[in-house]
Structure 1
Amino acid sequence: MNNPPSGGAGPDLSVTIAGIRFRNPVIAASGTFGYGREYQGLLDVSALGGICTKGLTLRPRPGNTGNRIHETPSGILNSIGLENPGIPAFLEKELPALRELGPVVIANLSGADPEEYAEGARILGASSIDMIELNISCPNVKAGGMAFGLDPEMAASVVGPVRRAAGGKPLMVKLSPNAPDLAAVARACVDAGADALSLVNTFKAMAIDIYRRKPVFDMVSAGLSGPAIRPIALRMVWELGNALELPLIGVGGIAGPEDALEFLLAGAAAVQVGSATFAHPAAMLETIRGIRDYMEKGAFLTVGELSIRQKSPRARDRSGNTGSPPQGG
């Protein structure tokens, strides 16, 4: 088992997002870490900043038929289809053990229509989870998912009811890179009550089996993740950071500390690591250690100081953290 990053005196890796304190800015991305217990024999799960659960829906879903994973240069295509046991079963069978692991618990919520999303949010809002990540960006389901994340009005039609139903639970909305105007969708989500945004989900893509002469996936298209999408995801985080004043969580192709630091320098409050964990379960712990080493060498005291954005010392985002100019080299 890998040891957690060393403790003791040094930079403060903790971050606060929408009032929730994370011990460090590295979060396991939804759909790549199960419910946490699956990785307990491979790494010290308690060392992570947070865990996003597999996508949850109000009722159980069997997921997509046929092939679900297909490797491609610099990434993977997935067509899982939000297979999950349903929110009630998650709360009964998975959440108690997940809470004992230690990291912040973020429930990833999906649905087929605004009413289903809202009912799921109501139930999760009354539970012991720390935060909801609203998935309006999954590209490989027939109903709901990405359909809500492509248009500002559609996005608001889900975020608003979820915000009201979730009560005081912090709400993070996961955005789709496939939106024609991502900034407009992001603003609509913020106006409808989002406390933070995670970006990006997978890119819509496909593969064809040249020997069978047909698409690899029954759904034809699937979601592309991995290193191939990182530079695009980074650009999107940078651009939204210029347009909005709320915490952004960078997602997409992050496989190590250098990748994560790019997003943090671009202004992300935290990062999520996804596909890299499949191939290298220790990737997140190595990322945490690498961020700490970088901060120690550069004399950075807090994660917020890493951002290279120009920000007034008095400027405050919705997390309550005061922005400061970078320090050190």
Structure 2
Amino acid sequence: MVNLAVDINGYTLKNPVMTASGTFGFGEEYEDFIDIDALGGIVVKGTTREHREGNPYPRMAETPSGMLNAVGLQNKGVEHFASNIYPRIKHYDTGIFVNVSGSTIEDYVATAERINELDHIPGIELNISCPNVKEGGMSFGVHCPSAIAVTEAVRKVYKKHMMVKLSPNVTDVTDIAKGVEGAGADSVSLINTLLGMAIDAEKRKPLLSTITGGLSGPAVKPVALRMVWQVYNAVKVPVIGMGGIMNATDAIEFMLAGATAIQVGTGNFVDPTMTIKILDGIKDYMERHKINDVNELIGGMHV
């Protein structure tokens, strides 16, 4: 028997395979395809203080080896989640994390406070890639003082595991990682999507209504892998890696670069059973390499 359990700063995941926010709904949508309880954890879609309609269509576009999205955090608000969604998913025997988003620090705090009341939600993933409306629309996550401020504010009201999701659209991701670590993050997850765009040459128009959007999928993997390695070597809190993970080899590469756990995102759209295939692939890799404890992989790259 091999040990697949990993510890993310006091919270134990039964295995390192998680799902990424915005690609797995609330878990229910995948029940026909996989056993949700087999996963280490799920991160449910972005939740905000109030109802949000999201951006106008079109808001998704395929690109070579990836996809662009500009959904705009469409959701019915945290109260709807707490009253209607939570009762339907709280029975899952896996770590349920809620991706918390906002336009102001007050939004983040109010949303986190409400989720803190939900007994079967062991953690949140703080999405600091949102535009800060009080600072002219600059993302909280690309400006170190803003990233620290929102993390500190949420830390004061949120008493369980706080994972902070880092933006790759920065000059030095380690500065932000160290900043949120000092502000109380229990772990960091990265990368969020890279800013990109696509154009329809025949129509001479952008493919997204918002012109630019978030690039995800295999195209971003080398960038994500590099940033995970950099952050792993810069902070003491656990790192959760994501960005173009499509198979077990990808997942293992992220762990060797320093990730304690990984999240599968765009891959869920390609194959709704991908998370289970990745988990099985990790087990197979461990057996072939005679590894008894998955924790031996974390940061195990030979340099």
Q: TM-score, normalised by structure 1?
A: 0.88
Identity %: 44
Letter in 1 for 2:129: S
**C-alpha separation in 2, matches of 1:265 and 1:182:** 19
Question: Would you say 1:137 and 2:166 are equivalent positions?
Answer: no
Rounded to whole Å, the distance in 1 between the matches of 2:184 and 2:23 is 27
In 1, Cα distance between the equivalents of 2:157 and 2:141? 19
Q: Is the 8 A contact 1:178 1:203 kept in 2?
A: yes
| Mapping 1:285-300, distance limit 5 Å | 285-300=276-291
**Secondary structure of residue in 2 paired with 1:149:** helix
**Deviation readout 1:23-67 (Å, 9 max, x if unpaired):** 110001000000000011112222111110100001010010021
1:57-81: CA deviations, max 9, x gaps? 0101001002111000000000100
> Does the CA contact (< 8 Å) of 1:137 and 1:146 recur in 2?
no
| CA deviations over 1:225-270 (Å, ceiling 9, x no partner) | 0000011100101111111111000010001100000011111100
- 2:173 maps to 182
1:212–1:147 distance in 2 versus 1, CA, 3 Å: same
**Runs of 4+ more than 6 Å apart:** none
Aligned residues: 299
Partner of 2:21: 30
Counterpart selection for 1:211 from 186, 202, 205:
202
User: What is the aligned counterpart of 2:73 among 78, 82, 100?
Assistant: 82
CA drift of 1:102 comes to 1.8
Q: Is 1:92 paired with 2:83?
A: yes
Paired residues of 1:136 and 1:146 also in contact (CA < 8 A): no
TM-score, length of structure 2 as denominator length: 0.95
Which stretch shows the higher mean deviation, 119-128 or 148-157?
A: 119-128
Q: Partner of 1:320 in structure 2?
A: none
Moved more, 12-21 or 85-94: 12-21
1:141-187 per-position Cα deviation (integer Å, ceiling 9, x unaligned):
68489710001101011000000011x21100000000122111111
SS at match of 2:53: coil
AA at the equivalent of 1:71: E
5 Å-filtered alignment, 1:1-329, equals 10-128=1-119, 129-138=121-130, 143=133, 147-166=139-158, 168-309=159-300
Structure 1 residues 56 and 134: CA distance shift in structure 2, 3 A: same
**5+ unaligned residues in a row in structure 1: which ranges?**
1-9, 311-324
Amino acid at match of 2:272: P
Change (3 A) 1:300 1:146: farther
